[in-house]
């Protein structure tokens, strides 16, 4: 194949446009399938793709990164989605919706997603790389929640726990679908898993999960310093019974 320097290449007459990035990913997975991940070198990939070695590193910092070519874009979409979220909306619902962007990416190309899952299960270094990708998603979700829960004394803890729950619920359903070879309605499965998180932690609005609703009454008791405790309790009881 001829060398391509920083330009897109087009597949066939009337075919879909294939970028150099796509060509590198396609070549890499073809070789991984034939030879195995460890036995495939970056030089092998660029040779099959018909590009130079420098072109590879223009798009991917490592051989592991070529296995996850779509996550940077998805993370950017998630960040933009949360930045545009309604400040008065339920933050738990918002991070659940943000997680669905990851699902959409996987479901958009089932064959690639299933192939990547199977490859990742076989290669320890890819599992480590995948964990770093998942951590970036979780930190993005937690960052949004920390901002929304900033007024709460337990805001940071609540944010991190909810973000971890969203990622765990999403990945539980997604990986079951990947293990099945991409069979079934993964959207419905992820919705069910995320609904569990929303039911547990959601409904907080600005105050966050667990904030009092507008129907709750607040009783304020004012007493002089030195008032006997029995009189304070008596006053509270009278207010609650009134």
The set of residues, in sequence order, having a beta carbon less than 8 Å from that of 103 and lying 6+ positions away, is: 170, 174, 186, 187, 190
Average pLDDT of the chain?
85
* pTM beyond cutoff 0.85: no
What's the domain count of the chain? 2
**Contact, 173 vs 102, CB < 8 A?**
no
Asked whether residue 230 is assigned to any structural domain, the reply reads no
In a domain, 198, yes or no: yes
Task: Tell me: do 87 and 162 sit in the same domain.
Answer: yes
- Tens of pLDDT, residue by residue over 5-61, are 333 433 333 334 568 999 999 999 999 999 999 999 999 999 999 999 999 999 999
What HEC string does the chain produce? CCCECCCCEECCCCCCEECHHHHHHHHHHHHHHHHCCCCCCHHHHHHHHCECHHHHHHHCCCCHHHHCCCHHHHHHHHHHHHHCCCCCCCHHHHHHHHHHHHHHHHHCCHHHHHHHHHHHHHCHHHHHHHHHHHHHHHHHHHHHHHHHCCCCCCHHHHHHHHHHHHHHHHHHHHHHHHHCCCCCCHHHHHHHHHHHHHHHHCCCHHHCCCCCCCCCCCCCCCCCCCCCHHHHHHHHHHHHHC
Which CATH number characterizes residue 183's domain?
1.10.357.10
Average pLDDT over residues 79-105: 97
In angstroms, the CA 97 to CA 64 distance is 28
Task: Based on the fold, state whether residues 34 and 112 are members of the same structural domain.
Answer: no
User: Does 150 reside within a domain?
Assistant: yes
Range of the domain at 52: 9-63
Residue 36 shares a structural domain with residue 125: no
Please check whether residues 96 and 26 belong to one and the same domain.
Answer: no
Q: What digits encode the pLDDT tens for the residues 181-208?
A: 999 999 999 999 999 999 999 875 444 4
Within-domain flag for 144: yes
56 and 91 fall within a common domain: no
- Kindly indicate the confidence band of residue 223, based on its pLDDT and cuts at 50, 70 and 90: low
CATH code of residue 19: 1.10.10.60
Do 74 and 151 reside in the same domain of the chain?
yes
Residues 199 and 79 in one domain: yes
Do 46 and 33 meet the contact criterion of CB atoms below 8 Å apart? no
Q: What is the pLDDT of residue 193?
A: 97
pLDDT at site 237 = 62
Residue 110 sits in the same domain as residue 52: no
Residues 96 and 30 in one domain: no
């Amino acid at each position: 194949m001829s060398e391509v320097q920083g330009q897109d290449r087009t597949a066939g007459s009337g075919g879909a446009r294939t970028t150099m990035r796509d060509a590198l990913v396609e070549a890499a997975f073809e070789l991984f399938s034939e030879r195995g991940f460890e036995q495939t070198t970056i030089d092998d990939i660029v040779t099959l793709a018909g590009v130079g070695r420098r072109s590879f590193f223009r798009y991917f910092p490592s051989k592991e990164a070529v296995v996850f070519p779509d996550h940077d874009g998805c993370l950017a979409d998630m960040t933009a989605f949360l930045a545009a979220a309604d400040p008065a909306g339920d933050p738990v619902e918002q991070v659940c919706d943000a997680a669905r962007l990851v699902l959409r990416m996987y479901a958009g190309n089932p064959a690639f997603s299933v192939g990547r899952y199977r490859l990742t299960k076989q290669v320890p270094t890819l599992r480590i790389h995948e964990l770093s990708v998942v951590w970036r998603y979780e930190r993005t979700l937690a960052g949004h929640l920390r901002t929304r829960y900033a007024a709460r004394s337990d805001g940071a803890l609540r944010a991190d726990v909810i973000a971890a729950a969203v990622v765990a619920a999403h990945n539980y359903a997604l990986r079951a679908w990947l293990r099945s070879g991409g069979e079934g309605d993964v959207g419905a499965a992820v919705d069910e898993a995320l609904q569990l998180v929303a039911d547990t932690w959601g409904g907080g609005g600005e105050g966050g999960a667990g904030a009092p609703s507008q129907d709750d009454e607040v009783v304020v008791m004012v007493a002089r310093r030195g008032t006997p405790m029995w009189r304070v309790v008596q006053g509270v009881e009278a207010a609650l019974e009134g």
